[in-house]
Amino acid sequence: MSRKPKRIETQALIIGAGVTGAGIARDLTLRGVSCVLAEKRDVNAGASGGNHGLLHSGARYVASDMEAATECREEGALLKRLAPHCVDDAGGLFVAVEGDDERYVADFPAMCARCGIEAAALEPARARELEPALSGRLIAAYKVPDASVDPFMLSLDNIADAGERGMVFLANARAAAFTVKDGRIVSTLLFDDETGEETEVVADQVINASGAWAGIVARLAGLDVDLVYSKGTLLVTQDRIADMVINRLRKATDADILVPGGTVSILGTTSVTVEDPEDCRPTIPEVDHIIEEGAAMVPVLETTRYIRAYAGVRPLFGKLASASSQDEDGGRGIGRGFALLDHARDGVVNFATITGGKLTTYRLMAEKAADLVCEKLGVAAPCLTRETPLPSHAGGKWTEPGLAPRTWLARRDPKDALLCECEMVSKGVVDELLASMPRHKSGPALLSLGLRSRIGKGPCQGGFCSLRVCAHLYDRQALYGDAGIEEIRAFLGGRWRGVSPILWGFPLMQAEFQEALHCGLMGLELHNHKSRKGGA
C-alpha cells in the first residue's frame, strides 16, 4: 500500500488522450515545451473514438452556428493538406427527400455562401448517378467538400510525433487527485486502475482535456465546469454503402449522416442527454430509430447487414447553451463550439480546461489551449501546427482499413499468417504494434491492439481473431499465466456492447455460434474473475 509513487517533472501535464489532448501534446512539443500526456484508459477512449469520423465542410452548421461552420471549413481544409494520410477526401452530398422542409432547402446555398462554403447544386438524377444508393424520392442535392477522417490514426500520429520530441505518454493513468497549494496545482496523482500503481506528476501547468470527463477532473481542484453530456449512437454497416459523405439536407437531427469509413459506412447519430459520461452504450431503440431515419435517405439501410453499433458522449459546454432548448432535443440546441476556461479566474492559476468542440476543429482547439499554456509559461514560440505537416507514424498506421491487407500481400511471407482474417491483420503487424505500444505492466493487451488496428472490427467482431491473437501473444511471451482468459473476456465483452443491439438475422446466428465456441467449448463464462483488483 505504501509503495512510493513514481515522480515525473514536466512543464505541462495534459489530462486526456483524445484527439484534443493529443493535439495539444504535439503543439506544445513543437514549441519546445516538455509535457506529459496522461490518459485514464487508452487513446480516444471517449468521444474522440466514438464519432462518425466526419471531417465537416461546415455545411451542417450553416443554419445553427456560423462560427462553428466557418471554423470547420478552415480546419477541414487545413487537415486535408497537412494530414492527408488520415483523410479520405470523399466529398459530400446534402440531399433532401419528399416531405423535407423546402424553405431550409431553398435557403441552404445562401447560408453556405455566407460561411464561405462551396455548395454546388446537383440535379437529383445526377446525385443518384454519383450515389446509386440514394432514395428515388430525392428533391434536392448539393455537393460540398465533406470528407472522412480516421480519428484513431489522427490521435496516434499526434502522440507519436510529440513522443519523438520527448513527450511522455501514460496510458491507464487516471488523474485521481491534485495537490493545490496557494492557488496552484503543485502536483497531480495519477492512478492505474488495473494495477493500483501511482505516479506523481509535478507540472508548471495542467491542462484538462478530458472531454466529457472535464467536469469530473475540474472537481478534483474544487472547480465546476458546466457540461451537458450528449450521447450519440452510430451504426456500422458490413459494406460501404456510398462513396461520399451523405447528409440529410434539413435542420440537424438524428440519423441524418452516412459517412464512409474505409470498407464500411457509418450511419448516425442520435443525441440523447445522459447523466453520466460513462453511460455510453448504444441501445436497441436508438438503433431501430437510426435505421428508420437513415432509410428515408438511403433505402438499402433498412435491409443491409450491420456489424455493430457504438456510442460516444459529446461534452457540450453548458454556458454555450441557448438555455431553453437543451432538454427537448438532447442538447442539439447547444453550440458545437469549444470552450477554453482559464481557471486562474477561479483561483487556480496554473490550470485550464478545454472541452466541447468537434473532431474537425481539434487542431484549432489545441492551438488555443497551447497558446494559453505558453503565455503562462512565458514561452514566446508560435504555434507551428498550422503549417507543419503531421507525419505518418508506424504506431498509428494500422488503423487504416486496407493497409494491413496490402502490406500482407506485398510481403508474401509464408510465415506471416493472418490472425484477423476479416480485416487481414497478420502476425507481423501484431508484432510491430506490440513493439510500438506503450509499456503496460499489466494492462489489457488485446484491447490495446484492437484500438491500434482493425483487429476485431470485421464481421466476426473478434469471435475468432481474439482467440488467435491471444494465442500469438502467449507465443510472443506478451502474456503469462491465465491472463489470457480475462483478456479474451474483456475484449469480447467490449465488442458485445456494440453487437448486442443489432442481434437479429445473420448477426444473431453468428452470436449464437460464438456463444457455443466461447462458452460451450471453452467455458469462458465460468471463469469469472469477480475479485479483480482495482475495486469499485
Partner 1 sequence: MERKDVSCDVLVIGAGLAGMAASLFALEKGLVTAQAGLPGETLFASSVLDLMAVTPIEEGRLWEDPFAAIAAEIAQNPAHPYAKVARKDIEAAFGAFTGFLAQAGMPYAGRDGRNVEILTPVGTSKRTYRVPESMWKAVLAMEEKAPCLIVDFEGLKGFSARQIAETQKADWPGLRFVRLDFPGMTGDLYVEKMAFALEGESVRQALAEAVRPHIGDAAYVAFPAVLGHYRPGKVFAEMERLLGVGIFEIPTMPPGVTGLRLKAAFEEGLAGKGLKSLFQKLVLGCRVEEDGSFLFSMGRNAEEFTVRAKAAILASGRFFGKGLKAERELVREAVFGLPVEQPKGRAAWHQKDMFDQAGHPINRAGIVTDARLRPLGADGLPAFPNLYAAGSILAGQDWIRMKCGAGTALATAYAAVNDIAAG
534 is a contact residue toward partner 1 (CB under 8 A): no
Q: Number of residues interacting with partner 1: please give it, by CB under 8 A.
A: 52
* Shortest Cβ 265–partner 1 spacing (Å): 19
Contact 83, 148 (CB under 8 A): no
Torsion angles phi and psi, residue 234, rounded to 5:
-135, 160
* Shortest Cβ 270–partner 1 spacing (Å): 16
* Shortest Cβ 496–partner 1 spacing (Å): 4
Listed ranges 131-139, 203-211, 451-459, 479-487: which one lies at the site for partner 1 (CB under 8 A): 479-487
235 is a contact residue toward partner 1 (CB under 8 A): no
Work out which of 62, 95, 468, 478 binds partner 1, going by CB under 8 A.
Answer: 468
472 is a contact residue toward partner 1 (CB under 8 A): yes
189 is a contact residue toward partner 1 (CB under 8 A): no
Of residues 328 and 482, the one with the C-beta less far from partner 1? 482
Site of grid cell 487513446: 43
Neighbours of 4 (CB within 10 A): 7
524 is a contact residue toward partner 1 (CB under 8 A): yes
Give the residue from 31, 97, 89 showing the smallest Cα distance to 55.
89
The SS3 of residue 272 is: strand
Contact 39, 155 (CB under 8 A): no
Work out which of 110, 387, 475, 532 binds partner 1, going by CB under 8 A.
Answer: 475
* Shortest Cβ 443–partner 1 spacing (Å): 17
**Chain center to CA of 468:** 26
Extract the runs of DSSP E, i.e. beta strands, from 209-323: 227-237, 245-248, 257-261, 264-268, 272-274, 306-317
Work out which of 276, 279, 513, 533 binds partner 1, going by CB under 8 A.
Answer: 513
The SS3 of residue 172 is: coil
**Chain center to CA of 253:** 20
Sort strands 198-208 and 6-15 into parallel, antiparallel or unpaired: parallel
Site of grid cell 433505402: 299
535 is a contact residue toward partner 1 (CB under 8 A): no
Of residues 53 and 498, the one with the C-beta less far from partner 1? 498
493 is a contact residue toward partner 1 (CB under 8 A): yes
DSSP letter for each residue of 53-119: -EE--SGGGTTT-HHHHHHHHHHHHHHHHH-GGGEE---EEEEEETTS-HHHHHHHHHHHHHTT---
In 3-state terms, the chain is what percent helix, strand and coil (to 5)?
40, 25, 40
Determine the Cα–Cα distance for residues 532 and 422; give it in Å rounded to an integer: 32
284 is a contact residue toward partner 1 (CB under 8 A): yes
* Shortest Cβ 301–partner 1 spacing (Å): 13
Distances (CA, A) of 87 to 12, 72, 392, 450, 507: 29, 14, 12, 20, 30
Q: What amino acid occupies position 124?
A: P
Neighbours of 319 (CB within 10 A): 13
Of residues 7 and 532, the one with the C-beta less far from partner 1? 532
Site of grid cell 505504501: 2
281 is a contact residue toward partner 1 (CB under 8 A): yes
Work out which of 322, 504, 532, 534 binds partner 1, going by CB under 8 A.
Answer: 504
Determine the Cα–Cα distance for residues 530 and 536; give it in Å rounded to an integer: 12
Work out which of 387, 509, 532, 534 binds partner 1, going by CB under 8 A.
Answer: 509
Contacts with 289 (C-beta within 8 Å, 6 or more apart), sequence order: 254, 255, 270
424 is a contact residue toward partner 1 (CB under 8 A): no
Work out which of 471, 532, 533, 534 binds partner 1, going by CB under 8 A.
Answer: 471
Work out which of 515, 532, 533, 534 binds partner 1, going by CB under 8 A.
Answer: 515
Work out which of 331, 467, 478, 498 binds partner 1, going by CB under 8 A.
Answer: 467
Work out which of 83, 115, 354, 488 binds partner 1, going by CB under 8 A.
Answer: 488
527 is a contact residue toward partner 1 (CB under 8 A): yes
288 is a contact residue toward partner 1 (CB under 8 A): yes
Listed ranges 4-12, 68-76, 132-140, 463-471: which one lies at the site for partner 1 (CB under 8 A): 463-471
3 is a contact residue toward partner 1 (CB under 8 A): no
Distances (CA, A) of 495 to 305, 402, 492: 17, 21, 5
- β-sheet bridge partners, residue 13: 36, 206
Work out which of 132, 136, 520, 534 binds partner 1, going by CB under 8 A.
Answer: 520
Determine the Cα–Cα distance for residues 476 and 225; give it in Å rounded to an integer: 45
The SS3 of residue 396 is: coil
Of residues 50 and 337, the one with the C-beta less far from partner 1? 50
Of residues 412 and 441, the one with the C-beta less far from partner 1? 412
Determine the Cα–Cα distance for residues 313 and 441; give it in Å rounded to an integer: 29
Listed ranges 104-112, 212-220, 325-333, 484-492: which one lies at the site for partner 1 (CB under 8 A): 484-492
* Residues 377-416: x where in contact with partner 1 by CB under 8 A, - otherwise, as a string: -------------------------------------xx-
The SS3 of residue 379 is: coil
Interface residues toward partner 1, by CB under 8 A: 281, 284-285, 288, 414-415, 417-419, 464, 467-468, 470-472, 474-475, 477, 479-482, 484-485, 488-489, 492-493, 496, 500, 503-505, 508-513, 515-517, 519-528
